[in-house]
């Protein structure tokens, strides 16, 4: 930006746009690039819409999903490396529910472009109150049913995805968890 290198703290199209907007505002207030860079590089995400945490030497990436547009952006973000030379798929825990705060109607998952990412996603664990709805959607999109595990209990699902990633034969030992809102709150009990 302006001849100054910044490493984005948060990835994804919307997060990068927000960081660029913040940079522009700070420049309008005559804040120096060095101070802005220091702030950006020392920024820590808190528990919420999108954050990372290291647990038992594994990078855990959590991104809230609550509608097709956001879900597609998250899938785009977490599989982006696969299109840029990464030769292995990502493993995902979906925590999918239909409580009041999530919205009772889960038909919106049929508008998520799962087909677009089929080659970039490996093992899938699904937890929550509506795991079979999501499993059906993924199977309809062409995902191999042998790569999908339904685990109603979130704690058991977490253990399963950790085991999968630890045994995964690649250098990138990352866990991706995509919860709906109430599952995000439930998740907080186990990882914070």
Give the CATH number, domain containing residue 80. Answer: 3.90.190.20
Structural domain count of the chain: 2
User: Are residues 5 and 75 located together in one domain of the fold?
Assistant: no
pLDDT of residue 92: 96
For residues 148-171, give the mean pLDDT: 91
User: Are residues 76 and 132 located together in one domain of the fold?
Assistant: yes
| Percentage of residues of the chain with pLDDT beyond 90 | 55
Computed over every residue of the chain, the mean pLDDT equals: 87
CB atoms within 10 A of CB 14: 15
Q: Which residues contact 29 (CB under 8 A, 6 or more apart)?
A: none
User: Are residues 103 and 73 located together in one domain of the fold?
Assistant: yes
pLDDT in tens, 46-74: 666 788 888 888 889 999 999 999 999 99
37 versus 6: the higher-pLDDT residue is 37
Q: How far apart are CA 45 and CA 48, in angstroms?
A: 8
Cα three-residue angle 123-153-46, rounded to 5 degrees? 80
pLDDT in tens, 68-116: 999 999 999 888 865 555 557 889 999 999 999 999 999 999 999 999 9
The residue range of the domain holding 111 is: 50-191
User: Are residues 17 and 67 located together in one domain of the fold?
Assistant: no
117 confidence band (pLDDT: 50, 70, 90): very high
User: Are residues 38 and 56 located together in one domain of the fold?
Assistant: no
User: Are residues 92 and 109 located together in one domain of the fold?
Assistant: yes
CB atoms within 10 A of CB 105: 7
Tokens for 91?
């493993």
For residues 123-138, give the mean pLDDT: 97
Catalytic residues: 105
User: Are residues 126 and 149 located together in one domain of the fold?
Assistant: yes
User: Are residues 24 and 55 located together in one domain of the fold?
Assistant: no
| Domain end residue (candidates: 27, 43, 59) | 43
pLDDT in tens, 2-26: 676 777 666 667 777 888 888 889 8
């Amino acid at each position: 930006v302006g001849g100054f290198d910044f490493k984005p703290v948060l990835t994804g199209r919307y997060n990068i746009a927000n960081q660029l907007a913040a940079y522009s505002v700070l420049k309008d207030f005559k804040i120096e690039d060095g101070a802005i860079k220091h702030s950006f590089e020392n920024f820590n995400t808190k528990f919420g819409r999108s954050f990372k945490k290291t647990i038992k030497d594994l990078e855990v990436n959590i991104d809230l999903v609550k509608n097709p547009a956001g879900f597609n952006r998250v899938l785009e973000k977490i599989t982006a490396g696969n299109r840029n030379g990464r030769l292995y798929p990502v493993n995902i825990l979906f925590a999918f529910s239909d409580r009041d705060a999530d919205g009772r109607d889960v038909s919106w998952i049929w508008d998520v472009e799962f087909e677009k990412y089929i080659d970039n996603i490996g093992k899938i664990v699904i937890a929550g109150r509506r795991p079979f709805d999501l499993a059906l959607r993924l199977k309809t999109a062409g995902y191999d049913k042998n790569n999908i595990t339904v685990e109603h209990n979130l704690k058991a699902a977490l253990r399963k995805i950790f085991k999968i990633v630890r045994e995964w034969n690649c250098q990138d030992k990352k866990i991706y968890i995509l919860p709906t809102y109430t599952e995000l709150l439930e998740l907080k009990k186990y990882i914070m």
